[in-house]
A and B are shown apart, each in its own frame.
Chain A
Amino acid sequence: MPPEAYHTSFSGWGRYPVAEGLEIKSEDLVRSTAGAALCRGLARSYGDSSLPACANDTVVDTTMADRLLAFDQDSGLLRAEAGVSLLELNRLFLRGGWFVPVSPGTQFVTLGGMVASDIHGKNHHVDGCFGEHVRSLRLRVADGRIIECSDEQEQELFRATLGGMGLTGHILEVEFRMRRIPSPWIRGESHRIANLDAMVAGLKEAAGAWPMTVGWVDCLARGESLGRGILMKGCWAEPDEAPGTPPPTKRRFRVPFQFPGFALCRASMKAFNLLYYYKHIQREKRGIVHPDAFFYPLDMLDDWNLIYGRRGFTQYQCVLPHAEDNGPARRFLDLFTSGGGMAFLCVIKDCGPEGKGMLSFPRPGISIAMDFPVHREKTQGFVDRLNELVIAEGGRIYLTKDTFTREEHFRAMESRLDAFNAVRRKWDPQGKLRSAQSVRLLGDTI
């Protein structure tokens, strides 16, 4: 029997919005993607990126298509089906001395999702996005054909697919280069940082000596201490400094139920942020760290999105160009905190050069990401104001996190949009491939 579609409701990691549609889930991606509008992996994009545009659209859940197809021990070249998770890749390869070239902040993503979002990580300033390390992709394009694309073959389609949010074709297989690591442990260092200038300077300084850097910012601190936080740096530990044993599997905890709405108020956020800041009681910490604790601190808590309660939450992530006085980042944080924005988590990172993904998010500058609960009346206006500032500063937003941006705002910050749309039109003239997000932002029609 061919895989059958069934009605279900979809939402992303932010649990807002919720959309109705048809789903297919099967080990056989080739068969199940015929006629589908979109693929989704582990659904860790926050908003509507992996949601069907309308109730008649079919979305393929790829997570059962998770076979590894070829691995070359010498070059590290790995080919796998799109549904394999990063969790599984780490479980299988870390102890053997291999790691993905670029890792996002969670292991609950699939290879296909990593390509579609062209994810970036703590090493963006040296290694760029995941797409830079992808050698070739096997796609099912809108007319049903299955096409192998790479920089040598159908280059345009290849580059539009890196960061293309799954809108150029269904990603069936991914071939990319794994990286040799000296040990599966991380040598890390972290510093308590007093304000934004020191944070940006710290990131810049660390970029030369450290392959991985990231900052966490206390979003509730204002005035003098605006942008204060913790700066984290790391590199793979050498065998002589690392423990001889592979990192043990960390115990994970589960958020048992949806938190009530009042659990998240200014006071609890403030308490959390203060605690996080002052937990780092020394000005500086160094040592050997478990890779999961370094890369995926939040993965310890399964279903942590339930903390945000019934209304759900969103993340806003933008990249703002560098400036001598850190003006753009300062104005952004100012607007965020004064506009009543509050967030448990705010992550800051300096980005390296723009990658080859046609619509890929990072560009040189400072990337800031923050989570906040969805409020029916306030959130849309708040995101609008943030977007207007980002446009004025010459920055852009990350589609994978976006839920509220307006089409005209996105167009204003994305000069590459026309080129991307042209590739989409060429391969999908009837507009068969679409998502709720592409209807909201890219002018797709239902």
Chain B
Amino acid sequence: MKAVVMGATKGMGRALARLLAERGDRLFLLEHLPEELERTAGDLEIRGAERPVGTALCDLLKPETFAPALDAAERELGGLETVIVTAGLFGTQEQLERDPQFAAQVLLADFTNTVLFCEEVRKRLLARGGGTLCVFSSVAGERGRKPVVLYGSAKAGLSRYMEGLDHKFRAAGLRAVCVKPGFVKTGMTVGLKPPPFAGEPQDVARRVLRAVERGTPEVYVPPMWRWVMCAIRSLPRFAMRRIGF
């Protein structure tokens, strides 16, 4: 597989990129910190990725970096096949309520700019006759919930966008894969109390890889979260007002 990964330096993106590397895949990484980019590329090369692992600076908070970074990836890989986006910002509800500036950044990065990035990818993939775009949204976007009011609203928008892409462009060859992680033990959730069914990034990576290969439009990880969210979606409003979940 030839894959561009945005967000391979941390968490689930790191686990997924490592899984690809161990298969000997061809990788191209996008990230906003040059040193992180270099160190992660080195790690993936030692783990078996085809050398050299290409890199380009790309910042989710600076949309003007998207097109040049994707151009560089396209040149080096000889065309895009699979693009995976795991990057995003996270803040707890308390942090986001306290700090509107940070809230603006999270909303911007997780919705508007992620969608703009995906639009750049979409154009390029469709021009080649198709390909796979895999984006990490979240179960936080499934229902308005007390602990993720702001973060969840951005992810809800992102999930709808991915759904729309799938409906509109599947026939043209674009396979939109929307990943909806539940609680996964990564740097993002450190310090939060893990609920039951918390997942490990390595297991998540294996499931996502299978979904990418099959072109599954929507994937919950760990899979149990499909049923958890199914239950949450069916709860009446008065119940949602009472529970803390």
- Chain A residues engaging chain B, CB cutoff 8 angstroms: 1, 3-4, 6, 23, 25-27, 64, 67-71, 92
A168 to chain B, nearest CB (A): 24
- Residue B143 is within 8 A (CB to CB) of chain A in the complex: no
A26 in contact with B39 given A1-B91, A71-B46 (CB within 8 Å): no
With A1-B102, A27-B14 in contact, do A67 and B187 touch (Cβ < 8 Å)? no
Contact B190 A3 (CB under 8 A): yes
Contacting pair A26 B190 (CB below 8 A): yes
- With contact pairs A1-B91, A27-B9, A92-B47 given, residues A67 and B40 touching in the complex (Cβ less than 8 Å): yes
By a CB distance below 8 angstroms, the chain A residues around B68 are none
A67 x B190 contact (CB < 8 A): no
Known: A68-B43, A69-B43. 6 other contacts (CB 8 A): A1-B95, A1-B102, A3-B187, A4-B191, A6-B191, A70-B46
Total of A-B residue pairs, C-beta within 8 Å: 37
> What are the 6 A-B residue pairs with the smallest beta carbon separation, nearest first?
A6-B191, A67-B43, A68-B46, A25-B190, A71-B46, A68-B43
Q: Are B91 and A68 in contact (CB under 8 A)?
A: no
Q: How far is the CA of A70 from the CA of B39 in the complex (A)?
A: 9
Residue of B nearest to A24 (CB): B190
- Bound together, the chains give a CA A363 to CA B38 distance in angstroms of 41
The answer on a CB contact under 8 Å between A69 and B39 is: yes
Using Cβ atoms and an 8 Å threshold, which residues of chain B touch A27?
A: 9-11, 14, 187
Considering the chains assembled together, what is the distance between the CA atoms of A3 and B190 in angstroms?
9
Write the chain B residue with the least CB distance to A79: B42
Complex alpha-carbon distance, A64 and B40, angstroms: 13
Specify which chain B residues have a CB less than 8 angstroms from the CB of A23 in the assembled complex. Answer: 191
Once the chains are docked, how many angstroms separate the CA of A4 from the CA of B187?
10
In the bound complex, residues from chain A placing their C-beta under 8 Å from that of B40 are 67
Identify the closest chain B residue to A84 (Cβ).
B43
Q: Tell me the complex Cα distance, A23–B191, Å.
A: 8
**Nearest CB of A to B61, in Å:** 13
Please indicate the chain B residues that have their CB under 8 angstroms from the CB of A64 in the complex: 186-187
- Give every chain A residue within 8 A of B10 (Cβ-Cβ): 27
A-facing residues in B13-41 (Cβ within 8 Å): 14, 39-40
CA A23 to CA B39, docked complex, whole Å: 25
Q: Which of A3, A26, A70, A92 contacts B42 (CB 8 A)?
A: A70
The chain B residues found within 8 Å of chain A, CB to CB, are 9-11, 14, 39-40, 42-43, 46-47, 91, 95, 102, 186-187, 190-191
Assembly CA distance A1 to B11 (angstroms) = 15
Residues of B with C-beta under 8 A to A69: 39, 42-43
Residues in chain A near residue B11, CB distance under 8 A = 27
Which chain A residues lie closer than 8 Å to B39 at the CB level?
67, 69
Q: Taking CB as reference atom, which chain A residue is nearest B192? A: A6
Residues of the A chain whose Cβ atoms lie less than 8 Å from the Cβ of B186: 64
Selected A-B contacts with CB under 8 Å, 21 pairs: A1-B91, A1-B95, A1-B102, A3-B190, A4-B191, A6-B190, A6-B191, A25-B190, A25-B191, A26-B187, A26-B190, A27-B9, A27-B10, A64-B186, A67-B40, A68-B46, A69-B42, A70-B42, A70-B46, A92-B46, A92-B47
Closest chain B CB from A22 CB (angstroms): 10
A40 to chain B, nearest CB (A): 14
Which B residue's beta carbon lies closest to that of A92? B47
- In the complex the two chains form, what is the Cα distance from A26 to B14 in whole Å? 13
Residue picked from B9, B47, B102, B187, most chain A C-beta under 10 Å: B187
Contact, CB under 8 Å: B42 / A67: yes
Residues of chain A with a CB closer than 8 A to B42's CB:
67-70
Enumerate chain A residues within 8 angstroms of B43, measured Cβ to Cβ.
67-69
A4 to B91 alpha-carbon distance, docked (Å) = 11
B207 to chain A, nearest CB (A): 19
Residue of A nearest to B89 (CB): A1
Tell me the bound Cα distance from A26 to B11 in angstroms.
10
**For the complex, what is the distance from the CA of A67 to the CA of B10, rounded to whole Å?**
10
How far in angstroms is the closest Cβ of chain B from A233? 33
| A92 to B39 CA separation, bound complex (whole angstroms) | 18
Q: Which of A4, A64, A67, A71 has the most CB of B within 10 A?
A: A67
Inter-chain CA distance A92–B45, complex, in Å, is 12
- Chain B residues with Cβ below 8 Å from A25 are 187, 190-191
Give the CA-CA distance A344 to B43 in the complex, in Å. Answer: 40
Alpha-carbon separation in the docked complex, A66 to B43 (Å): 9
Report B-chain residues with C-beta under 8 Å of the C-beta of A26: 187, 190
Q: Which residue of A lies closest to B99 (CB)?
A: A1
Chain A residue nearest to B22 (CB atoms) is: A92
